[in-house]
């Protein structure tokens, strides 16, 4: 053993010492370079994802509309009962007025310019304002999907006629309408305010947004109180023994269970055993709650653990009961962390698809669900449905749906970050 006092003074300037220092700095720089490379890769991939989504999805954020003056003659519409008029004929008359020279079989092809639901839109407009009966109703109606695509430049006019869904004749008519200033391209509010439809030009996310909202509401109302109660018990009151260890391990396991398993569980328990309605946000929310529960328990326990023992001692030392100590001091201090974790858990639940498909929350519904027991879709399952549809227009809608979903996720995570920064405290 070398006695430290008798050792000669260390020479820090020898070449060997210098080389050691140099290699240490080099290692430092390498580590930094790896980190920067990893982050650049991650950001690059994310960028590619978003750019490709925007590239395919942007066109769904605008829509093509054609303004037509429909003659509402009393021949077709009874002023006493406007809801039951022959609006098919009204639409036909409106189109004929635009192109008086087109007759015969061509008239059918002409009718394809407008969306299929035009007659119902005209009806609703007339019912809303019966004073137009006998006069003219100027209404801008969505163009049908092929012409929507044409207008957005997504149909190549140079492809042979039999390989595209619009004929040369139809293109000529459309160009004529455009020349007359009857074609407009406004923002597609229908994406947010319409429900699903078989026709891409009419399909929107309203039903899915409402369905997701109800499901998340149920999920929150179930998972939040149960999760917090369980976490408080485990963290503050439960004795440390083999049983609580077992519970702890299983909660951690539960957080790692694939979501489809929860879907199967929901199918077996909530639908087949309890007999709750299929496709309902109630069931979706319960399944999502099962998934979110372990997350909430884990973040709540972590937040409770992070409260310094000195605060607990202060409470107990002054004669607070354990319950008072937890409720008055520990829980309020842990709440920001709990809320942050809960929001992140809910954001995960919002994007969850597989369990919702299993319990049927991919219903085709044309109006938003009225409550938690109605059949519904959710945002991710709506994207799934659209991704599966053949029409060209649904391709853009799928990307747009994903963008909207990502938008909601970003909003939720921003709220979580905001809360964390706002309410964070240091001891």
Partner 1 sequence: MNDASMSAEMTANLSKSLDFDQAAKPKVVAKDVNVFYGEKQALFDVSIDIVEKSVTAFIGPSGCGKSTFLRCINRMNDTIEGCVVKGGISLDGDDIYAPSLDVVELRARVGMVFQKPNPFPKSIYENVSYGPRIHGLARGKTELDEIVESSLKRAGLWEEVKDRLNEPGTGLSGGQQQRLCIARAIAVSPEVILMDEPCSALDPIATARIEELIDELRANFTIIIVTHSMQQAARVSQRTAFFHLGILVELGATEQIFTNPSDKRTQDYITGRFG
Which residues are at the interface with partner 1 (CB under 8 A)? 240, 310-321, 324, 328-329, 333, 425, 427
DSSP 5-38: TTSPPP-TTSHHHHHHHHHHHHHHHHHHHHHHHH
For partner 1, the closer of residues 326 and 376 by Cβ is 326
Min separation Cβ 190 and partner 1, Å = 50
For partner 1, the closer of residues 178 and 236 by Cβ is 236
If one counts every other C-beta atom within 10 angstroms of the C-beta of residue 178, the result is 15
* Distance separating alpha carbons of residues 237 and 216, to the nearest angstrom: 30
Min separation Cβ 219 and partner 1, Å = 31
For partner 1, the closer of residues 333 and 383 by Cβ is 333
Min separation Cβ 321 and partner 1, Å = 5
Nearest alpha-carbon partner for 278 in 209, 346, 363, 162: 363
* CB-neighbour burial class of residue 52 (10 A; exposed 0-12, middle 13-18, buried 19+): exposed
For partner 1, the closer of residues 321 and 421 by Cβ is 321
For partner 1, the closer of residues 269 and 311 by Cβ is 311
Min separation Cβ 320 and partner 1, Å = 6
For partner 1, the closer of residues 159 and 426 by Cβ is 426
Min separation Cβ 26 and partner 1, Å = 43
Min separation Cβ 415 and partner 1, Å = 23
Angle subtended at Cα 203 by Cα 192 and Cα 206, rounded to the nearest 5 degrees: 35
For partner 1, the closer of residues 2 and 318 by Cβ is 318
* CB-neighbour burial class of residue 335 (10 A; exposed 0-12, middle 13-18, buried 19+): middle
* Distance separating alpha carbons of residues 299 and 335, to the nearest angstrom: 10
Min separation Cβ 236 and partner 1, Å = 11
For partner 1, the closer of residues 108 and 240 by Cβ is 240
* Distance separating alpha carbons of residues 268 and 164, to the nearest angstrom: 47
Min separation Cβ 322 and partner 1, Å = 9
Total count of residues recorded for the chain: 427
* Distance separating alpha carbons of residues 16 and 202, to the nearest angstrom: 75
SS3 205: coil
For partner 1, the closer of residues 24 and 422 by Cβ is 422
Min separation Cβ 315 and partner 1, Å = 8
Helical H segments across 131-241, by residue range? 145-151, 168-179, 190-193, 206-232
Structure tokens at 409: 């996720």
Give the DSSP letter of residue 143: B
* Distance separating alpha carbons of residues 166 and 106, to the nearest angstrom: 13
Contact 320, 312 (CB under 8 A): no
């Amino acid at each position: 053993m070398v006695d430290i006092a008798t050792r000669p003074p260390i020479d820090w300037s020898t070449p060997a010492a210098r080389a050691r220092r140099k290699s240490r700095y080099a290692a430092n720089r390498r580590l930094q370079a790896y980190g920067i490379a990893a982050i650049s890769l991650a950001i690059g991939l994310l960028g590619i994802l978003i750019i490709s989504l925007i590239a395919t999805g942007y066109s769904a954020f605008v829509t093509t509309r054609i303004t037509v003056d429909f003659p509402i003659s009393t021949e077709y519409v009874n002023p006493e009962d406007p809801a039951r008029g022959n609006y098919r004929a009204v639409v036909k008359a409106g189109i004929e007025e635009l192109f008086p020279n087109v007759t015969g079989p061509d008239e059918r092809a002409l009718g394809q310019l407008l969306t299929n639901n035009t007659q119902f839109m005209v009806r609703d407009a007339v019912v809303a304002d019966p004073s137009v009966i006998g006069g003219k109703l100027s209404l801008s109606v969505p163009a049908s999907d092929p012409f929507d695509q044409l207008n957005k430049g997504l149909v190549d006019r140079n492809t042979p006629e039999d390989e595209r869904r619009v004929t040369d004749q139809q293109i000529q008519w459309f160009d004529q309408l455009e020349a007359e200033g009857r074609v407009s391209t406004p923002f597609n509010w229908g994406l947010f305010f319409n429900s699903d439809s078989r026709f891409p030009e009419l399909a929107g996310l309203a039903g899915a947004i409402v369905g997701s909202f109800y499901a998340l509401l149920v999920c929150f109302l179930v998972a939040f109180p149960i999760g917090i109660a369980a976490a408080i018990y485990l963290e503050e009151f439960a004795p440390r023994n083999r049983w609580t260890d077992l519970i702890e391990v299983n909660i951690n396991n539960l957080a790692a269970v694939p979501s489809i398993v929860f879907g199967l569980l929901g199918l077996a328990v909530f639908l087949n055993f309890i007999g709750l309605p299929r496709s309902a946000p109630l069931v979706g929310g319960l399944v999502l709650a099962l998934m979110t529960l372990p997350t909430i328990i884990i973040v709540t326990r972590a937040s409770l653990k992070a409260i310094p023992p000195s605060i607990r001692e202060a409470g107990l030392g002054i004669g607070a009961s354990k319950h008072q100590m937890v409720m008055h001091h520990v829980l309020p201090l842990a709440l920001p962390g709990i809320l942050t974790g809960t929001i992140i858990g809910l954001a995960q639940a919002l994007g969850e698809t597989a369990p919702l498909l299993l319990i049927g929350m991919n219903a085709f519904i044309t109006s938003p669900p009225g409550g938690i027991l109605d059949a519904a879709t959710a945002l991710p399952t709506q994207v799934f449905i659209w991704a599966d549809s053949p029409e060209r227009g649904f391709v853009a809608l799928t990307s747009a749906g994903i963008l909207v979903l990502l938008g909601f996720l970003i909003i939720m995570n921003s709220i979580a970050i905001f809360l964390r920064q706002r309410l964070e405290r240091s001891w």
